[in-house]
Amino acid sequence: MARLALLLAACVLAIVPGSVHAADGTTGTTGTTGTTGTTGTTGARQHAMAGAPPAPAMFVRAEGTRLWRGAAEYTVRGANYWQAMHLGMASGPSANRTRVLADLARLRSLGITTVRVLAAAEGAAPHPMPVQRLAPPLMPAPGRYDDAVFAGLDWVLAALPRFGMTAIVSLANYWTWSGGAAQLVAWADRPASDIPYPAQWDPVAREMTEGAPYDAFVDYANRLFDPDDRANPRAQQTYRDHVRAVVTRINSLTGTAYRDDPAVLAWELMNEPQASPHVARWLAESAALVRSLDARHLVTPGAECKNGAAWFRRMHAASGVTLATCHFWAANWGLYNATDPTARSLQGAIAHMHAFVDDTAAWARALGLPVVLAEYGLGRDAWGAGAGLQAYTPEASVTHRDAFYAAVCRRAREAGYAGSAFWAYAGRARPARGPSAELRWTGDPPHEPAGWNSVFDSDRSTLRVLRAC
């Protein structure tokens, strides 16, 4: 019930046909997404102007509703790989550069040009669920950075050109699995307040945790956007300082400032900022801040585009916004029943996706912006013998997913999208056998069952679909 309520609340669309599946282990949490971060503004600054600035032609740019790099049109053939910063660390429990290199090589062989990574991770993991947040945090306390984590992002950005890739870099996350907007508010609030965590899937207990109503959580996180809120000045300061820290960071391996690095395709202001009375102004101000630091890279709000045409306009209208991105989540939004194996169920999800892609492409065209489907995903087949937690193992079939991915690819191209990025690449990672609180860095963030939306390097049929995209 808690899960259902959460799913429905998360779906601001009014299109909720009946209720959503409830396979054992299938959670529909509040959103699904990922992103990354950095440190040391001042220390690294002295190397700042070391190298000659790269030729402007190497930066991906927008012209009308198209992306270009040099004289060639640039299509985002993308993979969400939010884990990159942590896996890219030199040492520690999350570090695994061997895996990143293998994952990027595999993605490259499929023609993937772009990864979407997270440049943020705030606050310590709440006890006693150590993996409900990314660890170690990039920002353990307001304005304090763990430079070893930032150096992981340095390493990833330095590696991307070898694979001919660029990155969409998320500067913040709305959701709590990396700390997120609510953590910034909690740090700033006086008197101190607790984050009203909504119910989440507990991978050990295999049930939903007790949680605050979804609306209470969103109201709390949205305080980051409200200039009249008592926590706002400090929370907002932490966000803005973080934006500065990332955008002006000097890569410790290459000496290039991130803002001068063509490996960055776009800065994303936040992963999935939710609609609220103040969010449009916040996005406009944040976009202006980024543009004041870096006028060359594309800037996108990071919205899902799930709230209709007026909200799309509001969230993308600011002059600092130069790229639109949208997310489509059929199951999370109650538009797909994951335990229904029928073709009719799949076709229903595809029909909703078609309408969404066509609508959002038209809205972006009206604003003269290119648009990228920065997230789309579908769980592994969750019926029959594979139902429940087993559905998340690499052995579970992916028939609906493969068909859905192919349909997304086709429709995005036909509708004039500048590309798309599937959620998410797990590559060589494998979920633990049975319930486990251990974070395996698959494509699923820590509050979701490992393997749910993951594409493994063993998913040959899915990889074939992606290569043909």
Task: Assess 98 for contact with ligand NAG (CB under 6 A).
Answer: yes
Nearer to ligand NAG, 395 or 414 (CB): 395
With CB under 6 A as the contact rule, the residue among 6, 11, 20, 129 that binds ligand NAG is 20
**Applying CB under 6 A, does 99 fall inside the site for ligand NAG?**
yes
Kindly state whether residue 428 participates in binding ligand NAG, applying the rule CB under 6 A. Answer: yes
Q: For residues 103 and 402, which CB has a smaller minimum distance to ligand NAG in the complex?
A: 103
Pick between residue 270 and residue 450 the one whose CB is nearest to ligand NAG: 450
In the complex, the smallest distance separating the C-beta of residue 18 from ligand NAG, rounded to whole angstroms, is 5
Q: How far is the CB of 338 from ligand NAG (least distance, A)?
A: 8
Instruction: Confirm or reject binding of residue 19 to ligand NAG (CB under 6 A).
Output: yes
**178 in contact with ligand NAG (CB under 6 A):** no
**Shortest distance, position 20 Cβ to ligand NAG, whole Å:** 6
Q: For ligand NAG, which residue of 80, 96, 332, 454 counts as binding (CB under 6 A)?
A: 96
Q: Tokens for 86?
A: 């942590």
- Contact of 465 with 112, CB cutoff 8 Å: no
Give whichever of 405 and 441 is closer to ligand NAG, judged by the CB atom.
441
What mask, x for binding ligand NAG by CB under 6 A, covers residues 28 to 67? ----------------------------------------
How many residues line the site for ligand NAG (CB under 6 A)?
12
Shortest separation between residue 217's beta carbon and ligand NAG, angstroms: 24
Binders of ligand NAG among residues 329 to 348 (CB under 6 A) are 337, 339-340
Closest separation between CB of residue 72 and ligand NAG, Å?
34
Closer residue to ligand NAG (CB): 75 or 339: 339
Check binding of 128 to ligand NAG (CB under 6 A).
no
- Which residues is 376 bridged to in the sheet? 328, 422
Given the rule CB under 6 A, which of 13-21, 155-163, 305-313, 404-412 is the region that contacts ligand NAG? 13-21
Q: Cis bond leading into 136, ω under 30°?
A: yes
- In whole angstroms, the minimum distance from the beta carbon of 340 to ligand NAG comes to 3
Of 18, 128, 191, 277, the one binding ligand NAG (CB under 6 A) is 18
How are beta strands 298-300 and 166-170 bridged, if at all? unpaired
Rg (CA), the chain: 20
The token duo for 24 is: 């054992």
97-109 helix and 147-159 helix, angle to the nearest 10 degrees:
30
97 scored as a contact of ligand NAG (CB under 6 A): no
212, β-bridge pairs: 198
Does 89 bind ligand NAG (CB under 6 A)? Our answer is no
Nearer Cβ to ligand NAG (187/456) = 456
Q: How far is the CB of 392 from ligand NAG (least distance, A)?
A: 16
Residue with tokens 């032609």: 57
Of 6, 7, 10, 21, the one binding ligand NAG (CB under 6 A) is 21
- 438 touching ligand NAG, by CB under 6 A: no
Pick the closer one to ligand NAG by CB: 269 or 429: 429
109 vs 292, beta carbon nearer ligand NAG: 109
Q: Identify which range of 93-101, 201-209, 416-424, 459-467 contacts ligand NAG by CB under 6 A.
A: 93-101
Q: What is the three-state SS of the chain?
A: CHHHHHHHHHCCCCCCCCCCCCCCCCCCCCCCCCCECCCCHHHHHCCCCCCCCCCHHHCEEEECCEEEECCEECCEEEEECCCHHHHCCCCCCCCCHHHHHHHHHHHHHCCCCEEEEECCCECCCCCCCCCCCCCCCCECECCECCHHHHHHHHHHHHHHHHHCCEEEEECCECCHHHCHHHHHHHHHCCCCCCCCCECCEECCCCEECCCECHHHHHHHHHHHHCCCCCCHHHHHHHHHHHHHHHHCCECCCCCCEHHHCCCEEEEECCECCCCCCCHHHHHHHHHHHHHHHCCCCEEECCCCCCCCHHHHHHHHCCCCCCCEEEEEECCCCCCCCCCCCCHHHHHHHHHHHHHHHHHHHHHHHHHCCCEEEEEEECCCCCCHHHCHHHHHCCCCCCHHHHHHHHHHHHHHHHHCCCEEEECCEEECCCCCCCCCCCCCCCCCCCCCCCCCCCEECCCHHHHHHHHHC
- Residue 23 vs 403, nearer CB to ligand NAG: 23
Q: Which is nearer to ligand NAG, 23 or 212 (CB)?
A: 23
Binding site for ligand NAG (CB under 6 A): 18-21, 96, 98-99, 337, 339-340, 428-429
